[in-house]
């Protein structure tokens, strides 16, 4: 499989979108229900509410690590914003959903603190969002090797273009 990268750098924001032939409430559940997030990212546990911290397992990363993630905003079924800090830096993620005629668009934004690592980060989010779409549609999960390093150049080129302006 050769997936096509969709992510774009808009300033210091990495923005990716996916479209689902499903109502917004169903896609929202794929982003927030621990049994459903386990199918594409990993399970989570804790008392989820704005300002609270939950534990999230990155089930598809080496060592399947758990991490603390703060819920910055939760506006069901339209917006979820979360953040975490790890050895790679700060991660600020914002997911918004818009439904029209039974089709829901997910706009996933990572607010970057710099674009230096976008060549590694972008392919990872492409993989995870395609895994979300596959799990939602009952399809097999994608293979990360189809995303990285194949998509690295796509994201690096955007970074270089922004720096040239």
Tell whether the model's pLDDT for residue 17 goes beyond 80: yes
Tell whether the model's pLDDT for residue 95 goes beyond 70: yes
Tell whether the model's pLDDT for residue 30 goes beyond 80: yes
In this prediction, residue 108 carries a pLDDT of: 98
Instruction: Tell me the pairing of strands 8-10 and 89-100.
Output: unpaired
Check if the beta carbon of residue 87 is closer than 8 Å to that of residue 58: no
Q: Is 100 exposed, middle or buried (0-12, 13-18, 19+ CB in 10 A)?
A: exposed
In this predicted structure, which of 12-16, 38-42, 84-88 has the lowest mean pLDDT?
84-88
Mean pLDDT, residues 151-156 taken together: 96
Q: What percent of the chain has pLDDT over 90?
A: 87
Tell whether the model's pLDDT for residue 1 goes beyond 80: no
pTM, rounded to two decimals? 0.94
Give the sign of the dihedral formed by CA 29, CA 103, CA 9, CA 127: positive
């Amino acid at each position: 499989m050769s997936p096509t990268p969709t992510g774009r750098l808009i300033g210091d924001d990495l923005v990716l979108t996916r479209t689902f032939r499903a109502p917004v409430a169903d896609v929202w559940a794929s982003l927030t229900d621990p049994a459903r997030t386990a199918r594409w990212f990993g399970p989570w546990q804790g008392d989820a509410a704005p300002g609270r911290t939950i534990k999230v397992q990155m089930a598809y990363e080496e060592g399947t690590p758990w991490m603390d993630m703060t819920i910055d905003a939760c506006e069901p079924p339209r917006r979820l914003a979360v953040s975490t800090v790890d050895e790679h830096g700060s991660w600020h993620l914002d997911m918004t959903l818009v439904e029209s005629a039974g089709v829901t668009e997910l706009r996933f934004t990572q607010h970057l603190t710099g674009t230096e690592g976008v060549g590694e980060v972008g392919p990872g989010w492409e993989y995870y969002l395609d895994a979300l779409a596959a799990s939602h549609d009952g399809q097999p999960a994608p293979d990360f090797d189809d995303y990285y390093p194949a998509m690295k150049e796509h994201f690096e080129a955007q970074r270089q273009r922004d720096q040239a302006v």
